[in-house]
Structure 1
Amino acid sequence: MFLKRLEIVDNTLQKRRVVDFNESGLNLIVGIGDQNKTTNDIGKTTLIRVLDFCFDGKIEQLYTDKEFKESINEDIYDFLKTKQPVFKLFLEDRSTGFNYEIKRVVTYKKDRLKVENQILFNGQKREGDFNAELKKILFNNISKKPSLRQLIPKFIRKDENQINNVLKYLHPATSNSEYEKIHLFLFGFKAKKLLQEKSELERELKRNKKDKSILGKRFNIIDLKQILEIINKDLEELYKQRDEFQLDEKYELEEEQLKNIQLKLIEIEKIITNLNLQKSLTKKQLEELEKDRFLQDTQLIKLLYDEAKFYIDKLHKSFDEVVTFHNKMIENEKIYMKNRLDNIEENLLDLTKQRGGLQKEYSNLMKKLSKTGSLAEFTKLNEQIEKLAEQKGQNEKLLEELEKIEINIKHTEERLSKIKDEINTNLEDFNNKLSLFNKYFSKYSKILYDVEFFISYDLEEDPIKFYIKNAGGNEGSGKKQAIITAFDLAYIDFINELHINFPHFVAHDKVELIDINKLEKLFEIANNISGQFIVPIIYDKIESIYDKYKGNVILELSEENKFFGV
């Protein structure tokens, strides 16, 4: 998308300003003064602000200075109020031949300035939300995040943060989560959901492994299987001995009762074992919940808050309220866990009583049978069977829980492996795109300072952090600003090579900070790219090279020719 023409027409249909943009290369707005007159307040940066305004920016920027919020240019405010101008920005999509007209009509109602919006597509009115339609036109994207107003400052750098920071060009309070999505979007990474799923699976895997470690502290799955083999072999032998044991008919009823009691005891023992496992895990969860309560370290909840804030334009809760709410939720969950523990304890107490009663009944039967000397050996056999059967029940339940966790771990690892493969496939494409961008970025930075700059990222960080690196140390502000310009010009080359239909223009304010020799090199680079570099600058700064770049001037301003004519 290229800039074609800007028209500002007042309510008398008088054209207050018309600017035709060069098709590509450098577009200079030159402020001219003399010995008695300065270039202040003639509007040399106003064109950049108007461009931003046309892309759904705030109207206040046209008559106030952000550095001096209380300072209002009364002349411009009065012009907007009385003349109620129409701002028309014409765009051209050279890949399709489509033409767009963005209209923002200033009105004055109820003692305040208001703006009405309209978009024309090949001369026809385009319906829909103004902001959403603009994003569709400029970025071929309709998702809410990153928003249009988070992307535009990358292409129109007019405020301090935008001018002095390559990547973190938004308000200082902007979260890393927001920047992650912006940079992934700008450089064409389309698998953010995979990264989120990977993070969730890794947390799930960690929880399962922790539970496995707790339950398998004494014996692992293999240990338990071997133990059960031994127990089953011993029980089989004891059952065989008992089955072969000869009892008088008068004792057969008692023997049957013993078997029934024993089966009930085994079942109860299994339930008790399971409840004890639940009790152990619930206690561990309570400990973890206590750690999760945010008292002083609120870093994690800040990340979550920033993430929510990124997706929801207006959060109705403050960060402190979110922390309080989170802690309240933790407290509620702790109450739930404690109630659960109480229920487990009650069930255990009830089952223990039942077990005690059955054991007493079993013991009385055994005593009755053991009064006959011939039954002493039979009694001993049953006691051994009871003990082994109890051990078997406990170990079987523990094995069942461990195997269930092991299956969960296996499935999670399989899903995680597939996700990582998909991410790696996407990352390979993404890394190739970054390499392509860095080809131009390093080339232009080397032309400027004989140092090759590049952009990279840290995938292990959550959110992912992007950064600019070079072979040297920190740079001065002028040098830094030249590198920011090189970055933005390289980005135009990048989207051109990949045929990405994003804005093919960048506008930079305050380039006076850049050394004239470096500025000339940037002008040369700009004139050799298929994109537009829009620069407001005072004549004195470029006097020595003015003749060389006079053909790139799209607008000259002075005390006699101010931007709005007021």
Structure 2
Amino acid sequence: MKLSKLYTNKPDSFTPVNFVSGLNVVMAEIRLPENRNKDTHNLGKTTLGRLLDFCFLSGRDPKFFLFKHEEIFKDFVFYLEIELEAGSFVTVRRGVEAASQISFKRHSASDQDFSELPDSSWDHCNVPFDRSKELLDGLLDWRTLKPWAFRKILGYLLRSQDDFREVFHLRKFASRHSQWKPFLAHILGFDGELLEQHYQKEEELSKKESDADVIKKELGGSAEDISKIEGILLLKKQEAEKKTALLTAFDFRSQDKEKTKQLVNDFDATIADLNSQRYSLNQNKKKIVASLEEEQVLFSPEEAKRLFEEAGILFQGQIKKDFQQLIEFNKAITEERGVYLREELTEIEGALKQINAELTSLGKKRSDALSFLSTTDVFDKYKRVSDELVTLRADITSLERQKDSLHRLQELRTEIRALKEAKTQLQAKIEEDTNKQNADEKSLFSLIRLYFSEIVEDVINRKALLSVALNQAGHLEFQAEILDESGNSTSADLGHTYRKLLCVAFDLAILRAHVAEKFPGFVYHDGVFESLDDRKKENLLTVLRKYADLNVQPVITLIDSDLPARAAEDGAVFSQNEIILTLHDESDQGRLFKIPSW
């Protein structure tokens, strides 16, 4: 499949571009001296690639020049004539104003002009956008790309200057790796569908884990023991049923009996036990406080000395020293014992505080129960039981929600385990396939590797390596690098000039490897010679012509100042057949669109 012709309904404003089967050159000549040092010239060599993308049904981007300046281009209708594999042709019609309505016509001869063709003569007229993409996918029949659609590869076939920054990860694939890595693996000869499934499992796993985290946050501090919650729920429901029956029968004798039993067995017994504990703790507290107050050494050696002197007895030397040591020893013991006593006192005060709080609560419950038993107003009892039932039902509803959340959490954990297992199995298959394609010297990937390195070596006399390996996350990593004379990787590929060469080599190698299959046969490279030295430009031109002879249709754009100087001195660099479009800066007539610059 190759490009055949691009034209519009306004030939005076846009000269038709006829593509040839071999090398296609779009030459931009800078004829005005004041423009030679400019970085951009707005002649249209880059715009041509964007128009091809538009005719291949790119989405409506408000930043795209046709829509950004719609007041200028709204009346333009573009026609792209495409040569199909069978030697037949299809023309795609797409206007700016009605960009979501596309028409198609099959025909047997090239270089047609359907700009005046009535709608009734089109095979498919004004087809909605999504359906149009499906229709064009079928007409192009790039079946080697399946199950991916035709537009997936166009980023590699229509490279603008911005698309030479990365060999594999194009600007249009700014989103997740899952949007481009499986497809790239597929056209390189790997099992891209395994990668697609792996990314899908990862996405599902991430969503399930996120859902599980949300449920855990909603549960908060609630117990995650489903058995415990179901047990409490059962008891609450049973109690609610009893109270419902009580209210229905309007008979509170059983309730009175239950309150009496609760009052005697629970409240009074508990209160008595707590009072006993409180009494015991208070006694211990009293003893500790007294002990702390009494533990003081009252003997004073100096006072004893004075008394002994009055009595005429010596109190010097060893006697005084022994008393002082005894006092110090007693002080140490007293201080250590005081520490333990104060710790015990703190514990007792804490226990007393807790017991007092429990006694207060039990006292209120006991008072409520006594009040219920003592009241003779049956309606008051009805109201109290009703209030208790409302509280019970609220508790039941809350527990039901917790139970449902825990059941869902258990289901999610089961699904998460299954997804992790499936993901691990897929990763093992991807690794096996990657190793197999790398090791097989006759695989499609090995063939692309050889073509890729051959192109780079022909241009800069260095070999290049294309590698694909599995990272720790189970994803494929793609790498293209230039090797030194010893076969080791270098940093040469990091420069823009050599990075562009790697992009060109990759695109051409892909097309050559698939040249005998249902696969696109053209590639568009904008500014392909820019920043290369003369010898390398000549080498690259030789490669491009070689690939044109191999049934690949290279379309390149360049400024005349990027022509290889030595070849230009010897004569014309390109033949008249190769130059499909010449642009210049002398007037508006030299632009792609022969209108004032926008």
TM value normalised by structure 1: 0.55
Q: 2:580 aligns with which of 554, 557, 563?
A: 554
- TM-superposed CA distance for 1:42, in Å, is 2.0
Asked whether 1:19 is paired with 2:12, we answer no
- TM-superposed CA distance for 1:24, in Å, is 1.8
Q: Which amino acid aligns with 1:520?
A: E
Structure 1 residues 464 and 416, CA gap change in structure 2 (3 angstroms): closer
SS in structure 1 at match of 2:103: strand
- Is the Cα–Cα contact under 8 Å of residues 46 and 62 in structure 1 kept in the other structure? no
Match of 1:383 in 2: none
- Is the Cα–Cα contact under 8 Å of residues 80 and 106 in structure 1 kept in the other structure? yes
- TM-superposed CA distance for 1:46, in Å, is 1.7
Match of 1:482 in 2: 501
Match of 2:480 in 1: 468
Match of 1:534 in 2: 555
- TM-superposed CA distance for 1:548, in Å, is 2.4
- TM-superposed CA distance for 1:427, in Å, is 6.6
The superposition leaves residues 101-160 of structure 1 with CA deviations (integer Å, 9 ceiling, x where unpaired) of 11111227xxxxx55312223376246712223334446359998555443111101152
The superposition leaves residues 375-410 of structure 1 with CA deviations (integer Å, 9 ceiling, x where unpaired) of xxxxxxxxxxxxxxxxxxxxxxxxxxxxxxxxxx9x
Match runs of 1:503-542 below 5 Å: 503-511=520-528, 512-529=530-547, 530-542=551-563
Asked whether 1:44 is paired with 2:61, we answer no
The superposition leaves residues 183-203 of structure 1 with CA deviations (integer Å, 9 ceiling, x where unpaired) of 123224346248847997xxx
- Is the Cα–Cα contact under 8 Å of residues 176 and 465 in structure 1 kept in the other structure? no
Structure 1 residues 195 and 542, CA gap change in structure 2 (3 angstroms): closer
Structure 1 residues 417 and 324, CA gap change in structure 2 (3 angstroms): closer
Q: Which protein shows a greater Rg?
A: 2
1: CA distance, partners of 2:179 / 2:423: 27
2: CA distance, partners of 1:518 / 1:22: 25
Match of 1:80 in 2: 73
- Is the Cα–Cα contact under 8 Å of residues 135 and 142 in structure 1 kept in the other structure? no
2: CA distance, partners of 1:16 / 1:199: 46
SS in structure 1 at match of 2:44: coil
- TM-superposed CA distance for 1:502, in Å, is 2.0
Asked whether 1:459 is paired with 2:470, we answer yes
Structure 1 residues 449 and 333, CA gap change in structure 2 (3 angstroms): farther
1: CA distance, partners of 2:422 / 2:45: 60
Structure 1 residues 5 and 429, CA gap change in structure 2 (3 angstroms): same
SS in structure 1 at match of 2:95: strand
Q: Which amino acid aligns with 2:447?
A: L
Match runs of 1:91-240 below 5 Å: 91-94=82-85, 96-107=86-97, 114-122=99-107, 125-126=123-124, 129-138=131-140, 140=142, 148-160=150-162, 162-171=163-172, 173-190=174-191, 192-193=193-194, 196=197
Superposition CA RMSD, Å: 4.3
2: CA distance, partners of 1:305 / 1:415: 10
- Is the Cα–Cα contact under 8 Å of residues 198 and 416 in structure 1 kept in the other structure? no
Match of 1:4 in 2: 4
Match runs of 1:239-254 below 5 Å: none
Aligned residues: 367
SS in structure 1 at match of 2:180: helix
2: CA distance, partners of 1:467 / 1:34: 42
- Is the Cα–Cα contact under 8 Å of residues 478 and 515 in structure 1 kept in the other structure? no
- TM-superposed CA distance for 1:181, in Å, is 1.5
- TM-superposed CA distance for 1:165, in Å, is 0.8
- Is the Cα–Cα contact under 8 Å of residues 30 and 553 in structure 1 kept in the other structure? no
Q: Which amino acid aligns with 2:507?
A: D
The superposition leaves residues 431-462 of structure 1 with CA deviations (integer Å, 9 ceiling, x where unpaired) of 61110101100111111222222322223542
- Is the Cα–Cα contact under 8 Å of residues 434 and 455 in structure 1 kept in the other structure? no
- Is the Cα–Cα contact under 8 Å of residues 102 and 119 in structure 1 kept in the other structure? yes
- Is the Cα–Cα contact under 8 Å of residues 92 and 100 in structure 1 kept in the other structure? yes
Match of 1:34 in 2: 32
- TM-superposed CA distance for 1:53, in Å, is 1.3
- TM-superposed CA distance for 1:325, in Å, is 5.5
Structure 1 residues 80 and 418, CA gap change in structure 2 (3 angstroms): closer
SS in structure 2 at match of 1:90: strand
Structure 1 residues 175 and 44, CA gap change in structure 2 (3 angstroms): same
- Is the Cα–Cα contact under 8 Å of residues 31 and 556 in structure 1 kept in the other structure? yes
Match runs of 1:345-356 below 5 Å: none
- TM-superposed CA distance for 1:484, in Å, is 1.1
- Is the Cα–Cα contact under 8 Å of residues 84 and 140 in structure 2 kept in the other structure? no
- Is the Cα–Cα contact under 8 Å of residues 438 and 454 in structure 1 kept in the other structure? yes
- TM-superposed CA distance for 1:341, in Å, is 4.5
2: CA distance, partners of 1:170 / 1:523: 26
Match of 1:384 in 2: none
- TM-superposed CA distance for 1:478, in Å, is 0.9
2: CA distance, partners of 1:306 / 1:135: 32
- TM-superposed CA distance for 1:88, in Å, is 0.8
- TM-superposed CA distance for 1:328, in Å, is 1.0
- TM-superposed CA distance for 1:34, in Å, is 2.9
Asked whether 1:328 is paired with 2:221, we answer no
**Where does structure 1 lack aligned partners over 5 or more consecutive residues?**
66-71, 109-113, 201-302, 309-321, 350-408
2: CA distance, partners of 1:129 / 1:196: 26
2: CA distance, partners of 1:172 / 1:335: 43
- Is the Cα–Cα contact under 8 Å of residues 24 and 580 in structure 2 kept in the other structure? no
- Is the Cα–Cα contact under 8 Å of residues 145 and 187 in structure 2 kept in the other structure? no
Q: 2:203 aligns with which of 304, 322, 327?
A: 304
Q: Which amino acid aligns with 1:562?
A: R
Structure 1 residues 60 and 417, CA gap change in structure 2 (3 angstroms): closer
Q: Which amino acid aligns with 1:327?
A: D
1: CA distance, partners of 2:526 / 2:179: 24
Percentage of identical aligned residues? 20
**Where does structure 2 lack aligned partners over 5 or more consecutive residues?**
109-121, 236-416, 484-488
Asked whether 1:342 is paired with 2:228, we answer yes
2: CA distance, partners of 1:92 / 1:542: 30
